Every structure is written in C-alpha cells, then in structure tokens.
Structure 1
Amino acid sequence: MAVARATIKTVEPFQVAWSADDPPGSRSAFVRITTTDGVVGYGEASPMQGGLHSLGIIERDLAPGLIGADAFDQAVLHDRLFHKNIKLGPEGALTGALAAVDIALWDIKGKVLGLPIAKMLGGAWRSEVAFYSSVGGNARRTVEEVVKVVEGRFQREKPSAIKVRRDGDRSKLDLDIPGDIAKAKAVRRLVGDDFPLAWDANNGYSVGGAIRVGRALEELGYIWFEEPVQHYDVRNMGEVAQRLDITVSAAEQTYTTQALVDIISAGVRMVQPDIVKMGGITGLMQCAAICYAHGVELVPHQTQPTIGHVANLHVLAAIMHLTKPAEYADGSGRMDAAFPDLPKPQGGQFTIPDGPGLGIQIDDGELRRRTA
C-alpha cells in the first residue's frame, strides 16, 4: 500500500487589500502552498502591521526549507523551521509566519486525504461552536456611543455573549477608570442582568487600577476580565488574577508554549493564545494539551474572519473541554468576495465546515486580483 505524500512545490506569501484605500497595516497576510500534484493549501499569518514581517520571514527564511519537503511532515517542519530561525524571536513575527505555513499544510493534508481538519485532529466533539461578539474601539467612545455600537452588534449578530474591548493607548495606564466603569455599567443595563459579558482592558491598567475595575466588573456580573495589565508583565498579571474573583484571562500575545506555561504558573486560569500568532493549528493543539494538564480554560483569541477563523473553529471542534464561546470580531463581510461560503453566525452558533481540509471555498482569482 502506497504511503500518502504531498511534496511541496511552491510557497507564495502575499498580502491582500480588501479596498483600494486599505493602508498596508490593515491588510490580510496569507500564504499559498502548492504541491507537485497541484493540491493547494492556504494559511494566514498574524496581521500585526499587515503581516509584512511574517510574510518576509516566510519568503526569505521558511520557503527554502519547505520546497521539496512532504506536507505530511508538518510537525517536523514546524519544529525544524522554528529552531532554525529562533534568533529572529522566537516570538512574534516568526511564530506568525509559522502559523500561516502550518495552517496551509493542514489544509493540504485534509484535501489529499479527503478529511476535514477537525477529523485529523482526533475527531470533532461538536459540530457547532457558540460565539461572542467582540466589540472594539471603546476607549475613544462616550458611554452613549458604546451602548449604540454594542446594541447594533447585539441585535444584528445575536451572539451568545459580548466582549467589550477598550483598545486604548497602552502607554497611558488608568486613563479613565470612572469612564470605563460607567461604560461597563451601561452595557450591563442594555443586555440585562443574565447575559454573559466580558471586558477586555487591552493592557490598559496598573495593578491597582485593574483591581478597582475588576471589583466593579464582579459586581456587574461580567464573566471574564481580559489582559488587565501589560501582557509582558507576567508576575503582575498573575497577581491580579489571584486577587480577583472574576476570571482573569491573558496570553493573546503569548507566542510559545513555554511562555504559556509561565503565565499559567503565575496564576492565570484562562488563557487566550491566537492561532495565527501561536504557530497555527499545531501550536494551538499543543496549548490545548498544556491547558488540559493544568486544569486551565483555553479560550483562543481570534479576530481574523477568514482562514484564521475557520482554522480556529476546527481546533475548537476537536478539544474536549470548551468552556466559553469563540471570538467573532469582524462581521462586515468585506472579505466575502474571496471566501463565498465562510461560516456565518446563526442563533449564536458557528457550524464547523466538514469538507476536506479547511472545508471552505476560496476564490483564488479574487485573491490574486486583490494582492497588494
């Protein structure tokens, strides 16, 4: 019996502009990997600054080690390329680049075998995943503006939960704590006492400020408090987590499994690594194993509405303990021209694609027309 093989022929990193006036930092970063048999896999890199740094790493540093390799050796390639280029980070642009490659290789494997990614990860515990609307940009809004924006998403998307993101200036801590608490109270009044809410500080508070806001969120019945202090301040993130009753989450900006263990050891009991930052499907499944071993909630961060989103859904289908909804940040539909059958929110749920690989249609011609 012949052993399945998928020899990599080409690796093409590219940036996509969704409108003519998209600045480079607001574009999507993808990779297209093609085998000698013509099977094409797609992956997505971390979008920070438009993913340009990760795309450059793919082109210059990863592609030479991928050409001629077998896509089925994805885990070997992941580790080999990570350690070969470890002095580039090892965090940030490198793991974002590896994420794009890794997702594309899983897509190829699924297409060759005729299996969805979730099935290859050990099987799907669920065919649907609840989602929460992730509503950003609220530091600059008035209380009334926050309520209006949240209300629009609440009515349009009918989510299972809502997360309110500050998205403020990270260099100015505790800038408007009374205003933030007023916004949290207004959103609670809008949705009612029992609807699940979360507050994302986006690293906007000192330890003292975080404790003050966290106590208010506890009184308001918010279910988690995300990244209250600077993400790199692991010790103090753990201190805030231990001093509050509300669940404190972190690790959206954590890029390696060792760093994830550090933040868990500090006392954080809910972690949110991102599939397009944490080395892709392989990296996120390693995170799932760590969380299972430590009894910690895994609630991945995920703001990219196309390939990253679908890859994340496959992982969420395959992990046993799913305690919170999946993140849904961009419901604008501006990318639908290239992705005509993306999972859409219905009744507070996303349905996991069950086609081969990622299981979605990708209009390659449209992507090429929009390549920046």
Structure 2
Amino acid sequence: MKITKVDAFQMNWDASGKGSRSAFVRIQTEDGSFGLGEASPMQGGLASLGIIANDMASFLIGKDILDHAVLLDTLLHKCIKLGPDGAATGALAALDIALWDLKGKLLGQPVYKLLGGAWRTSLACYSSIGGNAHRSVAEVVDIVLRRVEKEQPAAVKIRWDGDRTRQDVDIAGDIAKAKAVRKALGDDFVLGFDANNGYSIGGAMRVGRALEELNYAWFEEPVQHYHVAAMGEVAQRLDITVSAGEQTYTLQGLKDLINAGVRMVQPDIVKMGGITGMMRCAALAQAHGVELVPHQTQPSIGHLANIHVMATVMHLAKPVELADDWERADSVFKNPSRPVNGCFELPTRPGLGMEFDEAEMKRRSIPITQ
C-alpha cells in the first residue's frame, strides 16, 4: 500500500485558539486509509512539524507503508544534522506512530497485537502534578488531595517545573512540601518527586536523603539532564531510585544514562522514535535490568501509542503517567482515554483505537505548509 499524502498540523485544544496546541501528522494511502501520529508539543511542535512538511513528506510519497523501518531510518540519516536530538527525532516519532496506526487499521488489529501481544489490558496510572515550585505547602497538599480524589491513582508524582537557570532555590521549602504530601497521603501511598533539573549534585543529595527518609519511590531528574555523569553520580550515591531520560532523544543517549548508573529510564514516545523507538528502549532496559517508565504527558495520540507499548512490557514496574490538563482531548476525541478507578483500559479497535470528530478536528487544525 503506497503513501499518497502526508499532512503536518497543529491541533488547537482551546476553541478560542489561544490555548495549548499539539503537533499532529496524518499519513494517507491510496485507498483513503490514514493513520495519526504526534510529535513533542514543545513550542507548539512547530520545529518538528516544519521538518516533516519541508524535509520528510515528499520523500514518503509513493513509498510502501510496510517499508516503515527502512523509510524512517533513511529519514533519520537524511536529517541527521538537524539534530538528531530534539526536533528531528520528534518528527520521526510522529511519522512512526502514524504508520503503526495505519498498519493496524489496514490489518484489522490493535497495535499491541502487532507488537506481540499484551501482558495486561488494564494499566494503572499515576497522577503527575506540576507547578509546585511556585505553590505554598498548603497549596501543594490541596491540589494533590483534589487530584487523588478525582483520579484515584495508584501513585502520585509531584513536579516542580521551576526556573532551570537557577539551582537549589529553596531546598528546605521543597523538603517541607515533600513531607506535607507524605503526611496527607499516608505512609504506604506510592510517591515520586520530579525536580525538573533543579539541583546541584550537593542539593540533590540533600533532597534525595530526605526523600529516602520519607519513603518516596523515585527521584526524577535531580540535576540538569545534559550532565549525564552527574545524574549517574547522584543515582549511585542514593538508595532511592533516581530516574531520567525524558530529555534523551536517541537510543545511544539512553544507553549512556544507563552506563552512568541511572536505573529507571523515562524516554518519551513523542520525542524518541515513536512506537518503534520505545520498543527498542524496552529491549535496552530489559537487557540492562533497569526499569522503563516512560514520560508521557499528551492525552490523545501520544498516550494511546504509549499504553499500547507498555501493555507489551513483561515487567512493568510503575504506573503510566496521567498529566495535568488531561481533559483537553475531550474536545476532539469521541472516545478519550480517561482512567476508571485509577486504570486506563487498552483499546481493542484496529490501530491505536481512537475515534474523533473529523469536522471538529478540521476546524481546530492549523496546517503546516511547505
């Protein structure tokens, strides 16, 4: 089956056009079938969408969709000097997800079946709660309790989302917030702490030791992601599991994190190679005996792609991410994936399993032209 059209476009979640936007791609074949993919939405995903429209789409026209891996590896090396970290790998992720969605539809199978089958069809979620660097202790506890009551998650991760140009801004205050959340949710509730690259090595050690005392389950990106050796040093010196990888865009980069000592890796499916990339990450993690817990904050295409992959992972160590503002997908998707009793159910329809209001999607779309 030949590819006849590749459209890259932004999706406006806010009807006014002033809210957040996602970066989507649609690949169509000669019989009218199509698949949808998603790139990282950073800065609206414009860089990745531009690369698709200007440097990748024309190459794919007329190609057989079943040559999927050859096509995308060719495009990676064609565009290697545009990255490969960041916009180019985000573009490839979107194309990869769309091709898997398309293949599933053409073969009449959900993606997880094409990947080898699911170990589970219900996946527990964790509430990922951002913006806590700028909240008081009482405000942090309030939003955590509201999210737990609403979502009934298996775990909670509190994120800082602070100023990455400054380190160790309020270590005592950060620890106080971590203590307050532990007290509010009880001794046995599973908790994670995402520093969003906010500490020096020394600061990370201080906070990490406090988190160990508080029985937090993981400590995410304590230092700047580009200081791989520093991330590894913190991981090796602390007993708490240190995680990283959401800002890692290649399999080789993930290998470097593991070799440095990180034992929980968090690549993101819309940043690193899509479904194919995440399956490679799963194999790498399994080979090294480390936990694979993907970062994933997009509530529609990226999320569905992620849970199809995670359903195939035999040793799934942690719940999947449920981020802020999840409800935005309701405006376009007829069957938005929402947790029930703290769990996402794996779609069984062909492809990724999404249904959407085509007229509404068209109305909210902003095309990226060559």
Structure 1 length normalisation: TM-score? 0.97
What is the Cα deviation at residue 20 of structure 1? 4.4
In 2, distance between residues paired with 1:261 and 1:215? 26
Q: Secondary structure at the match of 1:253?
A: coil
What is the Cα deviation at residue 319 of structure 1? 1.4
Which is further off, 233-242 or 330-339?
Answer: 330-339
Q: Secondary structure at the match of 1:30?
A: strand
In the alignment, what sits opposite 1:167? 161
Given the alignment, which residue of 349, 363, 366 partners 1:369? 363
Given the alignment, which residue of 294, 299, 310 partners 1:305? 299
In 2, distance between residues paired with 1:281 and 1:334? 23
Instruction: Encode CA deviations 1:65-89: one digit per residue, 9 max, x unaligned.
Output: 1111111211111211001100000
1:201/1:336 CA distance change after superposition, 3 Å: same
What is the Cα deviation at residue 141 of structure 1? 0.6
In the alignment, what sits opposite 1:147? 141
Q: Extract unaligned runs of 5+ from structure 1.
A: 1-5
What is the Cα deviation at residue 193 of structure 1? 0.4
1:267 corresponds to which letter in structure 2? G
In 2, distance between residues paired with 1:332 and 1:96? 21
- 8 Å CA contact 2:26, 2:34 repeated in 1: yes
In 2, distance between residues paired with 1:22 and 1:173? 35
In 2, distance between residues paired with 1:330 and 1:178? 25
In 2, distance between residues paired with 1:244 and 1:212? 10
Given the alignment, which residue of 6, 10, 16 partners 1:15? 10
In 1, distance between residues paired with 2:326 and 2:283? 34
Q: Secondary structure at the match of 2:46?
A: helix
In the alignment, what sits opposite 1:125? 119
Alignment of 1:236-251 (within 5 A): 236-251=230-245
In 1, distance between residues paired with 2:131 and 2:348? 34
In the alignment, what sits opposite 2:217? 223
Given the alignment, which residue of 183, 193, 211 partners 1:189? 183
In the alignment, what sits opposite 1:84? 78
- 8 Å CA contact 2:298, 2:326 repeated in 1: no
Alignment of 1:60-75 (within 5 A): 60-75=54-69
In 2, distance between residues paired with 1:124 and 1:332? 24
In 2, distance between residues paired with 1:261 and 1:106? 25
- 8 Å CA contact 2:282, 2:313 repeated in 1: yes
In 1, distance between residues paired with 2:146 and 2:99? 38
What is the Cα deviation at residue 331 of structure 1? 4.8
- 8 Å CA contact 2:130, 2:159 repeated in 1: yes
Q: Does 1:37 align with 2:46?
A: no
- 8 Å CA contact 2:193, 2:220 repeated in 1: yes
What is the Cα deviation at residue 332 of structure 1? 4.3
In 2, distance between residues paired with 1:92 and 1:166? 22
Q: Does 1:353 align with 2:347?
A: yes
Instruction: Encode CA deviations 1:260-285: one digit per residue, 9 max, x unaligned.
Output: 00000000000000000011001111
Given the alignment, which residue of 195, 201, 207 partners 2:195? 201
What is the Cα deviation at residue 198 of structure 1? 0.2
Q: Secondary structure at the match of 1:339?
A: coil
- 8 Å CA contact 1:45, 1:100 repeated in 2: yes
In the alignment, what sits opposite 1:3? none
What is the Cα deviation at residue 363 of structure 1? 2.0
In 2, distance between residues paired with 1:184 and 1:329? 19
- 8 Å CA contact 1:129, 1:352 repeated in 2: yes
What is the Cα deviation at residue 18 of structure 1? 1.5
Instruction: Encode CA deviations 1:155-204: one digit per residue, 9 max, x unaligned.
Output: 00000000000000000100000000000001001110000000000000
2:105 corresponds to which letter in structure 1? K
Which is further off, 249-258 or 358-367?
Answer: 358-367
2:197 corresponds to which letter in structure 1? N
- 8 Å CA contact 2:37, 2:98 repeated in 1: yes
Q: Secondary structure at the match of 1:163?
A: strand
In 2, distance between residues paired with 1:23 and 1:97? 24
What is the Cα deviation at residue 313 of structure 1? 0.4
What is the Cα deviation at residue 21 of structure 1? 4.8
In the alignment, what sits opposite 1:49? 43
Alpha-carbon RMSD across the aligned residues, in angstroms, is 1.0
Given the alignment, which residue of 80, 83, 95 partners 2:89? 95
What is the Cα deviation at residue 256 of structure 1? 0.3
In 2, distance between residues paired with 1:362 and 1:95? 26
- 8 Å CA contact 1:304, 1:330 repeated in 2: no
- 8 Å CA contact 1:305, 1:330 repeated in 2: no
1:365 corresponds to which letter in structure 2? A
Aligned positions, number:
366
